[in-house]
A and B are shown apart, each in its own frame.
Chain A
Amino acid sequence: MTVLADSPAVAARVGSTVELDGVVRDFGGGAGLAGFSLRAAPGEFIALLGPSGCGKTTALRSLAGLERVDAGRILIDDRDVTDEPTNRRDLGMVFQSYSLFPHLTSGQNVEFGLRMRKVAAGERRRRAAEALDLVGLDHHADRYAHQLSGGQQQRVALARALVTEPRVLLLDEPLSALDAKVRVQLREEIRRIQTELGITTFFVTHDQEEALAVADRVAVMRAGAIEQIGTPEELYHRPATAFVAEFVGLTNRLPGTVSGGILQVLGQTVPLAASAADGPVTAYVRPEDVLLAAEGLPAEVLTTSFLGALRRTRVRLADGSELAVQHGARDVPAPGERVHLAFSGTPVTTAPAP
């Protein structure tokens, strides 16, 4: 694979700032945007994460100009592009469904954007070859889409999106049609290329693991707006709301009580992630924050599953409620076995009990 500094077709450049300011898109049903605001720094990789119908694809399509917005502004490098058509926004986009032009070869597909920009034939071919080289498909330039695997098609689509050196790269669930192994491989490659090129990137996904793995910042969306935006670590360890706590990572919902700023869960004192009003609450405790201990809460093992380095075990407490515990793979509790649980002491997020 080429070293990028030698590759002028896809030379690193300073990414653009992107701002969506109070964007509204009303479909009369779900999947719209209700005052969506977000500012991306140059070269930042932002994942838009959320359940289906939360508006994440609509946000991306609005930024691309493929969706008209009802209110709000979209700025790229502080220039208002809200009313500009897609073809003048200078973007690169990779779609969820395979979008290579079936009547053109991979090489011709990659050249398409350069052709639209009236780049001379010789330079076009050279830059297309370099872009294909960047995604590791330099030997596939004369293949048609139907001769490529799904992963290869999405790589060509990525090369096609990058070859014009767009200001912003938009990825609309580009990995969701691929099988698990290719998905992980390609997402790492996307991240590598993005880091090397320094291109501001938006990545839509419903897969929280994918979002946490690749993004600089993750925007968790709900009902057309951002519920919380932050680094993967912030979202995971300090979810701002119950929705984020439940959507990002596995979580146990446990009944608790706050009294005088102290949280009691199942008779144990647990530190609070944020101050909460006195009264009954639901505490969101990660499985890795519940430990198998020599003494503590008595529980009975229901099932246990091996996850490689870790093991996840479901237990039932004396009051009949169940929770998940994550622990080292060396402890192998048997179903029916009596164990004791303790909390790790990591601060937990709460929400007022319903």
Chain B
Amino acid sequence: MSRPTPLRLGPGPVVRTVIWVVLGAFFLIPLLSMLEFTLRTAKPGVYSFDRWIAVFGGGTTRYDRVYQGLGNSLVLAVVTVAIVLLVLLPTIVLVELRFAKLRRLLEAVCLLPIMIPAIVMVVGLAPTYAVVTQIFGSGTWTLAFAYGITVLPYAYRAIQSNVAAVDMVTLSEAARSLGAGWGTAFWRVLVPNLRRGILAASALSIAVVLGEFTIASLLSRVNLQTSLLLVSQSDPFVAVIFALLALVFAFVLLVVVDRVVSARRRTRRVPPDHRLLKGSS
């Protein structure tokens, strides 16, 4: 009897290569074009690193505004990630463990920002920020409250997909039966098993914050994107250098997270005959 050919899932090697080349070109051509643009000199066909050296050489104060914007954006990224980890993560865990009925509601609330255009959000945020400014002052970092909302859909999905793969109820009950309080069960058992979701949520939040323009611009705050726009009006090359670096940074960040996640997934594979059996009387 001939051995049956295994059912091939997904495209073959040729199609796969074509997809890789097309996708690679789609992402790389704009990046390479940006790089080429920043290396141009007054003479056509002659390239130099002069503009890169000027930006990073530190010889001028012309780019201080961009550095200020970059600094602000990094602070915003840190505060936004903190909001995600301190507010969203415990909320998801709490809903999963104690209020399973609220899961759908939480999901709907978290996905809402993706459906609301930033410009519409700002209309609501403007009066809110009058209050925020009274309480926290007008520092740029306060934008993180708004960013905490815009990153919700991404951070929620990242954490929730990890939560769905872990039997959190049983793990926390096992920890408690062994003498751990709620806090210990959360830190010593749940968080280590949600590391992959937490990492992905943080990376996505950073990427979103570094690329955010609309809210900062309409609320008149300086971040990387608004400062780049300003500088680009006088020096388009510098704006492109920073935009290129921000894109590459976000790309590398996501690739690194993906590597870490898939590496962990490979080592965590459970043999198929030892699946979880859930449910009880």
**Chain A positions near chain B (C-beta within 8 angstroms):** 31, 50-58, 64-66, 85-88, 90-93, 95-103, 112-113, 116-117, 145-146, 149-150, 153, 157, 160-161, 164, 170, 172-173, 176-177, 204, 206
- Give the complex CA separation of A66 and B173 in angstroms: 7
**Cβ proximity bits B255-281 to A, threshold 8 Å, 1 near / 0 not:** 000000000000111110111111111
Q: Are A95 and B176 in contact (CB under 8 A)?
A: no
**With A and B bound together, what is the CA distance between A54 and B280 in angstroms?**
10
Q: Scoring B residues 153 to 185 as 1 if CB is less than 8 Å from chain A, else 0, what string do you get?
A: 000000000000011001101111111110010
A149–B167 touching, CB < 8 Å: no
Tell which of B173, B178, B184, B193 touches A102, judged by Cβ atoms closer than 8 Å.
Answer: B193
Given contacts A58-B281, A95-B173, 5 further A-B contacts (CB under 8 A): A66-B173, A85-B181, A93-B174, A150-B274, A176-B277
The answer to whether A52 touches B281, judged by C-beta atoms less than 8 angstroms apart, is yes
Is B192 on the interface with A (CB-CB < 8 A)? yes
> Within the complex, what minimum Cβ distance (angstroms) separates A218 from chain B?
16
CA distance A55 to B281 in the complex (A): 6
By the criterion CB–CB under 8 Å, are B176 and A87 in contact?
yes
A251 to nearest B CB, angstroms?
Answer: 22
- Chain A positions within 8 Å of B180 at CB level: 87, 112, 116
Structural contact, A31 and B276, CB atoms closer than 8 A? no
B178 partner, pick from A55, A160, A170, beta carbons under 8 A: A160
Complex CA distance for A149 and B270, rounded to whole angstroms: 9
Q: How far is the CA of A172 from the CA of B281 in the complex (A)?
A: 10
Q: CB within 8 Å of A: which residues of B? A: 166-167, 170-171, 173-181, 184, 188-189, 192-193, 195, 267-271, 273-281
Set A31, A112, A157, A160: member contacting B281, Cβ < 8 A:
A31
Residues of chain A within 8 A (CB-CB) of B269 are: 146
19 examples of A-B residue contacts, CB within 8 angstroms: A31-B281, A66-B176, A87-B181, A90-B179, A96-B278, A99-B170, A99-B173, A101-B171, A101-B175, A101-B192, A102-B268, A103-B192, A112-B178, A112-B188, A146-B271, A150-B273, A153-B274, A161-B178, A177-B276
Q: Check A95–B277 contact: CB distance below 8 A.
A: no
Q: Which residues of A contact B176 (CB under 8 A)?
A: 65-66, 85-87
Whether A206 touches B177, Cβ cut-off 8 Å, given contacts A95-B170, A103-B193, A150-B273, is no
In the assembled complex, how far is the CB of residue B235 from the closest CB belonging to chain A, in whole angstroms? 50
CA distance A206 to B189 in the complex (A): 30
A177 touches B281 (CB 8 A): no
Of the candidates B173, B176, B281, the one having the most CB atoms from chain A within 10 angstroms of its own CB is B281
Interchain nearest-CB distance for A158 vs B (Å): 12
Query: Is the beta-carbon distance between B171 and A164 smaller than 8 angstroms?
Result: no
Are A101 and B274 CB-contacts (below 8 A) given A112-B178, A113-B179, A116-B178? no
Q: CA separation between A51 and B280, bound complex, in Å?
A: 10
Partner of A96, one of B166, B193, B280: B280
Return B44 CB to nearest CB of chain A, in Å. 58
Output the nearest chain A residue to B166 by Cβ-Cβ distance. A102
Give the complex CA separation of A116 and B184 in angstroms.
9
4 residue pairs, one from A and one from B, having the closest CB atoms: A116-B179, A177-B277, A113-B178, A93-B177
Evaluate contact between B173 and A146: CB separation under 8 angstroms: no
For B177, what are the chain A residues with a Cβ–Cβ distance below 8 Å? 64, 66, 86-87, 91-93, 161, 170
CB distance from A237 to the nearest CB of B (A): 26
Please, how many angstroms separate the alpha-carbon atoms of A162 and B273 in the complex? 27
Within the assembled complex, what's the spacing in Å between the Cα atoms of A344 and B31? Answer: 90
Contact of A97 with B170 at beta-carbon distance under 8 Å, contacts A57-B281, A113-B179 already known = yes
